[in-house]
């Protein structure tokens, strides 16, 4: 075997050395190695725990872990927001397990209890193993989820001191049956909320209300647990923790864990000869580019993982690299598609570690199942959506001394374009906040019902559930769901379980079930709100990385019948949307322009869909659909400019629709940089003359009833957000607009009209009056 050279700088130089490649490397960031900083074990951490940690090779905790332990011991709500592999679990486990050990000395052996919440069952199972490694057996840790057999559940309620579960189970199983959990709840000292950045949007808002219900029930049993949260690094984790728990929180953010040096490159694939919608040029896909880079890295004997979005792409990248490599190296590249048996996963791990396998293309499923740390290089085909996932993926590269290479390859969309041209958005202070809006009345109302069913609601409970509670109680009374038996005390009136009305991971409205027609197997569900655009008849639907063709969407029974299929095209729905302002909460003036936040009604009708070739984005044809309009009441941020401003920006009236539409698209594409949403969680409308404002107006709204906090975050960070939007459009080298800047894959209008140059002028004139701008340039 030839000697392997994995110096990341040398690798990167080699990758970009080929002809024409140099342009594609838009930025190189050198992340220096970080030395570990240690601190002594804080008081109150039991010697048994310290001994177990030391047996595992942890002599002393890192400084941030020790800090979190101290705060936890003092009863402070704390959020530990540090990087991947920074040992967040030990930070909360040491104080929690110490407390539980103290509790084993009580007469019944359970003087203290703790609850652990994870967003997935797999993570909870993993955490139970960690607890078992650290604490003696008399601390009884047990999983409690949908898979726990009924005969074991009673044991968990009566004897377990550390119960690991998920928010869904807390909502559906534990809280409604709280009398059976009385002895556990009475002694509840800690609630651990792991991976708390995943509680965002509608799901996060639901979880926030479930936690308020938990706090209320605990209070009834005389306990007041301390909340310990673990989060990826985001903007303002303390504020998020506070919004989630309703309690003031302290954040520990200074990461004291060691890190090897990392060279992080940003890479933009070239424009191709192919044309997409409206004749726009399209870039080479991120997956095709990743396959090229993977080929070269494997040729150099570099152990590399490529992260892609879907299983199908994983296969494509692996196949393409194998083709380019030829034998014998082709045999050393594989695709990882999830759904493997544990022994298959272990075999894969072994092969990667030993270097028998050099290249692996994978969906992020790998993040949960296989340990692939210590790689030479990581390629990411497209921004994975959040900084947390980005660092989780990049963090797979790196061995202590040698250093490693990570490459983010831009996909053809405005957010990726922006990021590869604005490295500070990735490497400086995070701007992306975990967004949730527990005050949304559509979310709060069913939790008030659930809370009333758990214990009658009283006036003393009102502050706990937020400012709109009083008003909502009246509405729920009028609807006959709650009744006041005595003044100021509300009861649930129905026979059915109040909790069954809420699916924490749905957004209300009965979700559409995706059923495989030939087998009758239920594959999953999509929100009612998204069904018309994503699972209409004829749609190609990706579900957990697999591709299906929708044969029929039956709205009466809320079922979409699908069959596995891999047609050479994707589909994009066409729709008509109108929007009206119901109430304006806040308006700020930016010079002559105005920026507002408030409630809107959006009426949307899906009228057809396009089929686009996967490899090139070329439009193959269009079909009509006959679906009813849908009405959505939600929250929006909107901005308008005056006629004088249009004159200043030299935008004649015939360019205005294209300018506003292009600005709207790009701004939707960029919002996920500031709010942890997906481009698909939000929508937009641009109107040359809107009846409610009397001016040209661009709206961006939350795609869920009542809102999920995304539009609000856009409003609060409007100047940064719209500046980034402007810069993303301006940075794109295309001439007249393309998917990397102003075209949107979810445009209901076939990306017509769009005017890239006028959009930049429009945003310039809008931003000229923004507070930061006018102060800075004066």
Tell the smallest beta-carbon distance from residue 303 to Zn ion (Å): 35
Beta strand pairing call for 546-554 and 482-486: unpaired
Cα 325 to chain centroid distance, Å, stands at: 35
Nearer to Zn ion, 357 or 741 (CB): 741
Q: Which residues pair with 595 in a beta bridge?
A: 588, 639
Using CB under 5 A, which of the segments 121-129, 251-259, 381-389, 744-752 binds Zn ion? 744-752
Using CB under 5 A, which of the segments 289-297, 578-586, 737-745, 759-767 binds Zn ion? 737-745
Question: Considering the rule CB under 5 A, would residue 537 count as an interface residue with Zn ion?
Answer: no
| Stretch (H or E) spanning 17 | helix 8-17
Tell the smallest beta-carbon distance from residue 722 to Zn ion (Å): 17
What is the C-alpha separation between 361 and 371, in angstroms, rounded? 14
Nearer to Zn ion, 636 or 738 (CB): 738
Tell the smallest beta-carbon distance from residue 724 to Zn ion (Å): 15
What is the C-alpha separation between 390 and 719, in angstroms, rounded? 25
Residue 593 to residues 107, 407, 642, 645, 691: CA-CA distances in angstroms? 69, 40, 6, 8, 17
Nearer to Zn ion, 199 or 639 (CB): 639
The three-state secondary structure class of 531 is helix
Nearer to Zn ion, 247 or 731 (CB): 731
Contacts of 74 (CB under 8 A, 6+ apart): none
Using CB under 5 A, which of the segments 30-38, 271-279, 379-387, 736-744 binds Zn ion? 736-744
Tell the smallest beta-carbon distance from residue 192 to Zn ion (Å): 43
Question: Considering the rule CB under 5 A, would residue 610 count as an interface residue with Zn ion?
Answer: no
Nearer to Zn ion, 286 or 361 (CB): 286
Nearer to Zn ion, 708 or 734 (CB): 734
Residue 110 to residues 101, 192, 442, 500: CA-CA distances in angstroms? 9, 18, 39, 32
Give helix then strand counts, H and E, for the chain: 27, 30
**Which listed residue (572, 741, 762, 770) binds Zn ion by CB under 5 A?**
741
Using CB under 5 A, which of the segments 109-117, 399-407, 584-592, 732-740 binds Zn ion? 732-740
Which residue has 């990667």 as its token pair? Answer: 352
Nearer to Zn ion, 338 or 684 (CB): 684
Nearer to Zn ion, 11 or 728 (CB): 728
Tell the smallest beta-carbon distance from residue 542 to Zn ion (Å): 21
Q: Which two tokens stand for residue 336?
A: 């990882």
Question: Considering the rule CB under 5 A, would residue 738 count as an interface residue with Zn ion?
Answer: yes
Q: Which two tokens stand for residue 6?
A: 């994995």
Using CB under 5 A, which of the segments 184-192, 674-682, 734-742, 768-776 binds Zn ion? 734-742
- 90 touches 133 (CB < 8 A): no
Nearer to Zn ion, 305 or 572 (CB): 572
**Which listed residue (526, 728, 732, 763) binds Zn ion by CB under 5 A?**
732
Within 10 angstroms of residue 478's Cβ, the number of other Cβ atoms is 9
Tell the smallest beta-carbon distance from residue 748 to Zn ion (Å): 6
Q: Which of residues 745-764 bind Zn ion (CB under 5 A)?
A: 747, 749
Using CB under 5 A, which of the segments 88-96, 138-146, 477-485, 729-737 binds Zn ion? 729-737
Question: Considering the rule CB under 5 A, would residue 740 count as an interface residue with Zn ion?
Answer: yes
Residue 684 to residues 253, 387, 716, 724: CA-CA distances in angstroms? 35, 24, 17, 17
Nearer to Zn ion, 53 or 610 (CB): 610
What is the C-alpha separation between 87 and 598, in angstroms, rounded? 41
Tell the smallest beta-carbon distance from residue 469 to Zn ion (Å): 38
Tell the smallest beta-carbon distance from residue 739 to Zn ion (Å): 7
Using CB under 5 A, which of the segments 252-260, 515-523, 618-626, 740-748 binds Zn ion? 740-748
Nearer to Zn ion, 526 or 666 (CB): 666
Tell the smallest beta-carbon distance from residue 747 to Zn ion (Å): 3
Contacts of 53 (CB under 8 A, 6+ apart): 61, 90, 94, 134
Using CB under 5 A, which of the segments 118-126, 173-181, 602-610, 730-738 binds Zn ion? 730-738
Backbone angles phi, psi at 339, to 5 degrees: 70, 20
What is the C-alpha separation between 554 and 531, in angstroms, rounded? 10
Tell the smallest beta-carbon distance from residue 733 to Zn ion (Å): 7
* Total residues interacting with Zn ion, rule: CB under 5 A: 7
What is the b/e burial string over 432-463, where b = at least 16 CB atoms within 10 angstroms of the residue's CB?
bbbbbbbbbbbbbbbbbbbbbbbbbbeeebbe
Residue 317 to residues 296, 323, 352: CA-CA distances in angstroms? 13, 10, 17
Tell the smallest beta-carbon distance from residue 678 to Zn ion (Å): 17
Tell the smallest beta-carbon distance from residue 270 to Zn ion (Å): 13
Residue 485 to residues 447, 488, 491, 497: CA-CA distances in angstroms? 19, 8, 7, 19
Tell the smallest beta-carbon distance from residue 538 to Zn ion (Å): 20
Contacts of 114 (CB under 8 A, 6+ apart): 96, 99, 100, 161, 162, 163, 188, 189, 190, 191, 192, 225
Nearer to Zn ion, 526 or 663 (CB): 663
Tell the smallest beta-carbon distance from residue 176 to Zn ion (Å): 44
Tell the smallest beta-carbon distance from residue 738 to Zn ion (Å): 4
Nearer to Zn ion, 238 or 666 (CB): 666
Q: How many CA atoms lie within 13 A of 156 on its CB side?
A: 19
Q: Which residues pair with 631 in a beta bridge?
A: 603
Give which of 661, 697, 699 is closest to 682, Cα–Cα: 699
Using CB under 5 A, which of the segments 221-229, 267-275, 727-735, 757-765 binds Zn ion? 727-735
Nearer to Zn ion, 204 or 281 (CB): 281
Helices 414-421 & 718-731 angle (0-180, nearest 10): 90
Using CB under 5 A, which of the segments 91-99, 105-113, 209-217, 741-749 binds Zn ion? 741-749
Using CB under 5 A, which of the segments 167-175, 318-326, 462-470, 743-751 binds Zn ion? 743-751
Cα first-last separation, the chain: 64
Nearer to Zn ion, 561 or 747 (CB): 747
**Which listed residue (58, 232, 662, 734) binds Zn ion by CB under 5 A?**
734
Nearer to Zn ion, 282 or 448 (CB): 282
Chain length of the chain: 778
Using CB under 5 A, which of the segments 100-108, 289-297, 319-327, 738-746 binds Zn ion? 738-746
Backbone angles phi, psi at 515, to 5 degrees: -120, 135
Tell the smallest beta-carbon distance from residue 754 to Zn ion (Å): 8
What is the C-alpha separation between 768 and 313, in angstroms, rounded? 42
Question: Considering the rule CB under 5 A, would residue 52 count as an interface residue with Zn ion?
Answer: no
Nearer to Zn ion, 203 or 267 (CB): 267
Cα 543 to chain centroid distance, Å, stands at: 17
Nearer to Zn ion, 584 or 749 (CB): 749
Backbone angles phi, psi at 605, to 5 degrees: -130, 125
Tell the smallest beta-carbon distance from residue 697 to Zn ion (Å): 15
What secondary structure letter does DSSP report for 359? E
What is the C-alpha separation between 153 and 167, in angstroms, rounded? 17
Beta strand pairing call for 682-687 and 697-702: antiparallel
Tell the smallest beta-carbon distance from residue 424 to Zn ion (Å): 21
Q: Which residues bind Zn ion (CB under 5 A)?
A: 732, 734, 738, 740-741, 747, 749
């Amino acid at each position: 075997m030839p000697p392997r050279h994995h110096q990341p700088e040398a690798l990167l130089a080699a990758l970009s050395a080929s002809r024409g490649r140099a342009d594609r490397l838009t930025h190189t960031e050198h992340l220096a190695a970080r030395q570990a900083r240690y601190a002594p074990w804080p008081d109150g951490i039991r010697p048994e725990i310290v001994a177990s940690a030391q047996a595992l090779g942890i002599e002393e905790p890192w400084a941030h872990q020790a800090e979190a332990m101290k705060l936890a011991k003092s009863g402070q709500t704390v959020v530990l927001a540090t990087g991947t592999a920074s040992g967040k679990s030990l930070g909360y486990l040491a104080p929690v397990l110490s407390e539980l050990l103290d509790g084993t000395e009580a007469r019944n052996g359970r003087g203290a209890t703790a609850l652990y919440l994870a967003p997935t069952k797999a993570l909870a199972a993993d955490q139970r193993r960690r607890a078992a490694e650290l604490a003696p057996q008399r601390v009884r840790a047990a999983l409690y989820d949908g898979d726990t057999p009924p005969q074991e559940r009673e044991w968990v309620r009566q004897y377990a001191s550390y119960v690991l579960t998920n928010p869904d189970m807390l909502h559906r199983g534990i809280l409604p049956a709280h009398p059976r959990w009385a002895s556990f709840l009475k002694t509840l000292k800690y609630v651990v909320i792991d991976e708390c950045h995943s509680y965002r949007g509608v799901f996060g808002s639901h979880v926030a209300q479930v936690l308020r219900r938990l706090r209320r029930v605990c209070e009834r049993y005389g306990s007041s647990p301390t909340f310990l949260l673990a989060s990826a690094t985001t903007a303002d984790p303390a504020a998020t923790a506070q919004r989630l728990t309703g309690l003031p929180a302290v954040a520990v953010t200074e990461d004291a864990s060691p890190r090897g040096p990392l060279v992080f490159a940003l890479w933009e694939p070239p424009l191709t000869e192919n044309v997409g919608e409206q004749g726009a040029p399209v870039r080479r896909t991120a997956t095709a580019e990743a396959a090229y880079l993977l080929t070269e890295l494997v040729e150099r004997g570099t152990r590399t993982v490529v992260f892609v979005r879907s299983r199908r792409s994983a296969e494509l990248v692996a196949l393409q690299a194998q083709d380019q490599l030829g034998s014998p190296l082709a045999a050393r590249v594989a695709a990882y598609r999830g759904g493997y048996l544990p022994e298959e996963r272990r075999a894969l791990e072994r092969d990667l570690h030993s270097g028998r396998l050099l290249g692996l293309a994978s969906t992020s499923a790998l993040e949960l199942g296989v340990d692939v740390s210590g790689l030479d290089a990581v390629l990411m085909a497209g921004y994975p959506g959040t900084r947390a996932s980005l660092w989780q993926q990049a963090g797979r590269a790196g061995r202590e001394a040698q250093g490693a290479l990570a490459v983010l390859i831009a996909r053809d969309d405005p957010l990726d374009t922006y990021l590869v041209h604005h490295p500070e958005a990735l490497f400086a202070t995070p701007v992306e906040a975990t967004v949730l809006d527990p005050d949304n009345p559509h979310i709060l109302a069913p939790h008030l019902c659930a809370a009333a069913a758990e214990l009658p609601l009283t006036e003393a409970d009102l502050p706990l559930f937020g400012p709109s509670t009083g008003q909502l109680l009246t509405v729920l009374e009028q609807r006959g769901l709650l009744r006041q038996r005595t003044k100021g005390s509300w009861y649930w009136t129905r026979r059915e379980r109040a909790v069954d009305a809420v699916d924490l991971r749905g957004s209300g409205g009965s979700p559409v079930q995706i059923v495989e027609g030939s087998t009758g197997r239920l594959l999953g569900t999509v929100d009612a709100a998204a069904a018309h655009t994503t699972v209409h008849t004829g749609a190609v639907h990706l579900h957990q990385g697999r591709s299906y063709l929708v044969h029929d969407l039956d709205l009466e029974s809320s079922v979409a019948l699908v069959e596995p299929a891999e047609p050479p095209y994707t589909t994009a729905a066409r729709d008509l949307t109108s929007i009206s302002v119901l109430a304006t909460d806040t308006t700020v003036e930016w010079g002559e322009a105005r920026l507002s936040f408030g409630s809107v009604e959006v009426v949307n009708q899906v009228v057809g869909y396009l089929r686009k070739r996967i490899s090139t984005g070329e439009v193959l044809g269009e079909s009509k659909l006959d679906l009813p309009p849908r009405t959505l009441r939600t929250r929006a941020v909107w901005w308008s400019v005056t006629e004088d401003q249009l004159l200043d920006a030299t935008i004649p009236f015939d360019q205005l629709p294209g300018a506003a539409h292009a600005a709207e698209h790009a701004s939707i594409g960029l919002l996920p940089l500031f709010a942890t949403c997906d481009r698909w969680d939000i929508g937009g409308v641009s109107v040359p003359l809107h009846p409610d404002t009397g001016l040209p107006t661009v709206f961006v709204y939350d795609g869920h009833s009542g809102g999920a906090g995304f539009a609000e975050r856009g409003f609060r960070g409007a100047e940064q957000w719209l500046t980034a939007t402007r810069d993303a459009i301006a940075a794109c080298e295309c001439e007249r607009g393309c998917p990397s800047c102003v075209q949107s894959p979810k445009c209901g209008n076939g990306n017509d009209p769009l005017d890239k140059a006028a959009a930049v002028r429009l945003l310039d004139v809008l931003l000229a009056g923004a507070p930061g701008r006018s102060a800075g340039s004066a």
